Amino acid sequence: MNINLSIAAFLFLGIATLSCKSGQDEPLTVGPEPQPRVNYLGRDSITTGEYRGLVINSPADEVYQVLEMHRSNQDVSYISAVNNYFGNVSDLKNSLQDFDWLVLDENPETPTGVQVRLNRGKVERIQLNQGTPLNQWPQGIDLQLAIATGDSSDKLFNKLVSLSTQLGYSNKFQRIVLGSKYTYALYDPQKAQLPWTFVFDTRDHGIKEHVRVHFEDRKVAYIIVDRFQPY
């Protein structure tokens, strides 16, 4: 299973449950533990017509309305507007304040990947993919050098740049992800072109669909649907 499918599987099994309770502050579960026990059933790429009311070439605000309808019907178990991947830590400089969490990990994903919960760019919480809460990362080094709860976005960015160049920690910068939960990016030009993702429960033999809606010029360009079934 490649990285994209692995992420889809974890969204399907892990984040789907917690994100329905958007008013609570549960730990993130984007890491690789426990391993998802699912069958991958295949992928559709939709470039014409529609998918469950989401019409190709329809504007973002119409997509939002359809997704909210599905969510109110409890068909959609998880919705996320942004899951943005970065190849270089320097690209994070002006983005940290716009996202809800930062994930640092290796390729492939590991149980010791680092999840940093953000609030307007400030570090609110740190934990490992396996669920272990931390006061700082890396542990055992000077607090002035480590990512720590309470760090501002500027301080966080400077620490990320420094840690990414150090031999003992640089491997955790192979995979850099910024994510945002329940942020549909309707009026944010920077985010508006990024895919919106959700898991749709077909209610047919446990089959669920991990869906990514891709935009161009604030309209639906195409839709990718990966289907999974637990076993």
pLDDT at residue number 138 = 97
The pLDDT of 68-86, averaged and rounded, is: 71
Residue with tokens 């891709």, as numbered in its chain: 214
| Residues 175/84, Cβ–Cβ less than 8 Å | no
pLDDT at residue number 162 = 97
pLDDT at residue number 16 = 38
Cα separation, 28 vs 19, whole angstroms:
9
Cα separation, 202 vs 219, whole angstroms:
25
pLDDT band at 37 (very low <50, low <70, confident <90, very high): low
Cα separation, 195 vs 185, whole angstroms:
10
Cα separation, 143 vs 139, whole angstroms:
9
Q: What is the mean pLDDT of the chain?
A: 79
The pLDDT of 57-77, averaged and rounded, is: 84
| CA dihedral angle for residue 32, residue 33, residue 37, residue 38, rounded to 10 degrees | -30
Q: Which residues contact 133 (CB under 8 A, 6 or more apart)?
A: 27, 125, 126, 127
Cα separation, 195 vs 215, whole angstroms:
7
pLDDT at residue number 97 = 82
| DSSP code of residue 12 | I
Taking the model in full, what pTM does it have? 0.52
Q: What is the extent of the structural domain holding 189?
A: 3-230
pLDDT at residue number 108 = 81
pLDDT tens sequence across 132-158:
999 999 999 999 999 999 999 999 999
Cα separation, 81 vs 124, whole angstroms:
21
Residue with tokens 């939002």, as numbered in its chain: 64
pLDDT tens sequence across 164-220:
999 999 999 998 888 765 545 554 555 556 677 788 888 888 898 988 888 888 889
| Higher-scoring residue by pLDDT: 94, 143 | 143
The fraction of the chain above a pLDDT of 90, given in percent, is: 36
The pLDDT of 47-71, averaged and rounded, is: 90
The fraction of the chain above a pLDDT of 70, given in percent, is: 73
| Residues 177/103, Cβ–Cβ less than 8 Å | yes
Burial class (CB in 10 A: 0-12, 13-18, 19+), 82: buried
- Amino acid identity, position 70: H
Which of 11-25, 55-69, 86-100, 136-150 comes out lowest in average pLDDT? 11-25
Cα separation, 228 vs 225, whole angstroms:
10
The string of DSSP codes covering 147-205 is: EETT--HHHHHHHHHHHHTSTTTGGGGSEEEEEEES---TT-TTTTTSPEEEEEEEEET
Total domain count, the chain = 1
HSE-CB of 14 using CA atoms within 13 angstroms:
21
Q: How big is the CA angle at 43 (ends 41 and 46), to the nearest 5 degrees?
A: 145
- Amino acid identity, position 96: L
pLDDT tens sequence across 218-230:
889 999 998 988 7
